Structure 1
Amino acid sequence: MALAEVSYDMGVFMKFYQKFQYILEMPKMRPSSNWTVPTNINISVTFHHILGVNEKAHILISFLSSRQLWFNDYLVWKPEEFDGIDHLIVPLDFIWIPDFYIWEFVGENISPLMSYAYIHHTGKVICDQPIRAETSCYLDIFFFPFDTQKCLFTFGPYLHTVADITLGVHVSDEQLLSDSLQNLQDRGEWELRQINASIQQFYYQRDEWPMCVFTVKVRRKPTLYLVSLILPSAFLMLIDILSFYLPPHSLDRCAFKVTLLLGYTVFLLMMNNILPNNSGGTPLIGGYFLFCLALLVISLLESIFISYILNGLATQNRTVPQWVKSFVLGYMSQLICYKITDTREHHKKINVFTVGMIKGYEDELTGNREAPGQELEQFLKDTCDKVKDIRNSFEHFHIRSKDAEEWKEVSIVLDIFIFRVYIIFITVCMVCLGIFWSQWLTE
């Protein structure tokens, strides 16, 4: 019984072949009953994998399938004449197929070959071809890793002009995207966001060539780069900000900032291989790293400057200039709401008390000139001279202490002021950077 069915089926196919033999033996002829009427071909694409990008060479690597649909005016039959056969799958060598290619295709074509097409009894022909496409695409990495890329896939014939074929898209843009999202197998670094199809014409040497342009928008997933690049750099900057709370008169602050700067330099060397290299320009994240490095250097210079004031000017017995007192201890201290410790009255009381003591001794000695005992008088005079020397030493010491205290106040006011300006500057820059990168969420 099975052999009879096979024989019967083979007979049906032989009947079909005999009827359409003249068509199947001329596969290179365009299947149009009227040569003045172009053959309409509808195209659609479905993405299965987005394998990656080569930023340096501006190449997008993807795996997709294209479906081409057209009508063959000669391959039309009634299913009841062939025992209900309403469709067939035939080799591509037996029928005419359009000579389509992707204009942006670069590199070697290693796409798998599908040698069959689907034919419906109405004459509709469906040809599906899987394509591993390495296509040229301008990659703008300025907003890396929060970047969105738009790439073109232009399908067009190599020989046929608009006089021979016309192009169309048999599904909507929403359906193209939905089908691709359902068939995407690779959930890697890139995600498919949008597919738009448009029919255009290309003029070359007085001929008009049809083409179907698919605009594909893909968006990078920034999680990996956020964890490995942006957050570590932000943590190092946070540590640098907290280092301002170390005592400014301690040399440990400078040593700590030097160590932090060295660690950040090592971090930049490690992440250098991760950043994309592109002829289109430097990504914004490169400016972010350079900005953080510059802030670390400025922070170290600020600590060196404060240490110089405390350990240099304050120990050189130099008096604080009047303009520094007016600007730093006057205006700037009020601006940052810092209360200056007033030590002038304390020094004045000490000096007055010392001077009063010495004058009292001198008056006592002067009033007792007629007291008996010349040796006692001479002893008291010598004692008075020594007290004067002690008084001068104390006055000099108090002046030096007063200058040192003023230099210390100047360094504290400058340290607080620079720290607050540092915080404000970092906050403004980070907000601007966040606004730039937030555009990724709306694309």
Structure 2
Amino acid sequence: MYSMGLPIKKQNRPLQVVLTVDPWAILDVKEVDQTFVTHLGVKMEWTNDYIRWSPDDFCGIDKVIVPSELLWKPYIVIKEMAEKEKSLSSPHLKINFNGTIEFSSDQVVMTNCRMQVNKFPFDTQTCNITFLSNMYDSKDLYLKSRYGHIQYTKRIRKIITQYEWLFCNMTVHNWNSIGHLYFPITVKRRSVIYIVNFLLPILYLTCLDLRSFLMSDTGGEKVGFKITVLLAVTVMQLILNDILPSSSDSIPLIMKYCFGIFTMMMLSLMETIFVMYLIEKDSASEDDEIAHDPSLEAMKKYGASLNDKSDFKRGSAAKEDTSIRHTEGPLTLEMFSDELKEMKKMITLLNTDKQEEKRGYWTKLAERINKIFAICYVTSIIVFLAIIFSMWTAAEDVICLS
């Protein structure tokens, strides 16, 4: 009979059950699954109106231990429960002489928690653990907390075991209308491991990409280097995709950080390809000049430089003038030959200067573009990183136990 109904004599008032909730450890916070794993110690106390005695009448005995099946006990559940992994409930009840009954249980619980990962890995999470009775409403059973906000926070900081997450505080709220009692627990992530393994490597890759502006634009080494750095950032993004939940309301700052760095590296790669195209255009125009000028082609074949073009033509003209001088008269032909040689020399110099000016135009344009882009790139990187890190390190009014 004592295990079937509420142990109260006056049916017009609810039975008050006092809860003491002690989080012994924050075991895990799974962002992808959005679950919160804790090791909880729960102690329930209530008064049985049908049990009471005087210790003086029983040799000073003020409490007894009985099996939990003999008396009624409240069936309290956790609303956010996703999975009850391990539970160690006491098989006995402790009964005091004034009718107060105590029941304790330790359990590892996995509860659902809506994660806010906007500031990952400098994020702070608040997860609720709500206790309620499935069998009784607020008119029959009333849940009450043993301690308040400040007492709970001081008490838990002395007993909790901390791993990746730091305990900040735990508050208490009562929903008297529906008989719920919920405990919001605020925890903060230890971000050092993520800074060393994730943020700093991406920052180092950015510095390597900046270093690529010191490399030569001729050849494919610069493009290959930039593609390698870009692939490294892509690998970091894939790792991050496995950590963060896909159901987040807003884009986390770390995703903006990676995407911003990735975008600027992509623009840098496109600029490098464009600069190389301009330089190759200069080289192509030089090859066309050599192909259309037989004398330049001959000098290239035998290893002569472009500056020797006039000497090459001057030698041929000298041989022709010598033969003419022997056949038609020395004086007049020699003067005519000298004038021809001077005219050829002048025309050759003018053509050479024009060709050099034409060939150097695209290269000079590529150098100007490269300098302007390098200045804009460095400035954009500095401003972008300053904005991201200022948003990350924005002050919060949450003090956590270190």
Same fold flag (TM > 0.5): yes
After superposition, residues 320-331 of structure 1 pair within 5 angstroms as none
After superposition, residues 332-411 of structure 1 pair within 5 angstroms as 375-411=330-366
1:241 — aligned with what?
A: 210
Q: Offset at 1:251? A: 4.8
1:67 aligns with 2:43: yes
1:279 aligns with 2:247: yes
1:297 — aligned with what?
A: 266
Q: Which amino acid aligns with 1:170?
A: R
The DSSP-based 3-state class of the residue aligned with 1:421 is: helix
CA distance in 2, matches of 1:275, 1:109: 23
1:120 aligns with 2:100: no
2:303 — aligned with what?
A: none
Q: Which residue of 104, 117, 121 maps to 1:141?
A: 117
Contact residue 285 and residue 359 of structure 2 kept, 8 A: no
Distance 1:37 1:440, change over 3 A: same
The DSSP-based 3-state class of the residue aligned with 1:63 is: strand
1:412 aligns with 2:367: yes
Contact residue 24 and residue 41 of structure 2 kept, 8 A: yes
Distance 1:200 1:263, change over 3 A: closer
Q: Offset at 1:114? A: 1.3
1:189 aligns with 2:144: no
Contact residue 89 and residue 104 of structure 2 kept, 8 A: no
Q: Which amino acid aligns with 2:170?
A: I
CA distance in 2, matches of 1:42, 1:118: 15
Q: Deviations over 1:236-265 (max 9, x none)?
A: 111101111224456533332233334444
Instruction: Name the stretch that deviates more: 101-110 or 390-399.
Output: 101-110
Which 5+ residue runs of structure 2 have no aligned equivalent? 287-327
Distance 1:136 1:440, change over 3 A: farther
Q: Offset at 1:197? A: 0.7
Instruction: Name the stretch that deviates more: 93-102 or 211-220.
Output: 93-102
TM-score normalised according to structure 2 size: 0.80
Contact residue 130 and residue 182 of structure 2 kept, 8 A: yes
Q: Which amino acid aligns with 1:229?
A: F
Contact residue 314 and residue 403 of structure 1 kept, 8 A: no
The DSSP-based 3-state class of the residue aligned with 2:87 is: coil
CA distance in 2, matches of 1:111, 1:220: 26
2:146 — aligned with what?
A: 170
Size of the alignment, in residue pairs?
357
Q: Deviations over 1:142-187 (max 9, x none)?
A: 33222222211111111222221222222121222233232223x3
Q: Deviations over 1:54-82 (max 9, x none)?
A: 33332222210112222233333222222
Q: Which residue of 8, 16, 35 maps to 1:40?
A: 16
CA distance in 2, matches of 1:129, 1:177: 21
Distance 1:217 1:416, change over 3 A: same
CA distance in 2, matches of 1:147, 1:238: 26
Q: Offset at 1:36? A: 1.3
1:433 aligns with 2:401: no
Distance 1:276 1:227, change over 3 A: same
CA distance in 2, matches of 1:193, 1:266: 34
Q: Deviations over 1:316-337 (max 9, x none)?
A: 37xxxxxxxxxxxxxxxxxxxx
Q: Which amino acid aligns with 1:195?
A: M
2:277 — aligned with what?
A: 308
Distance 1:284 1:312, change over 3 A: same
CA distance in 1, matches of 2:31, 2:390: 24
Contact residue 141 and residue 278 of structure 1 kept, 8 A: no
1:229 — aligned with what?
A: 198
2:73 — aligned with what?
A: 97
Distance 1:275 1:405, change over 3 A: same
CA distance in 2, matches of 1:253, 1:441: 44
Q: Which amino acid aligns with 2:158?
A: Q
1:81 aligns with 2:49: no
1:200 aligns with 2:175: yes
Q: Offset at 1:198? A: 0.5
Q: Offset at 1:47? A: 0.6
Distance 1:192 1:119, change over 3 A: same
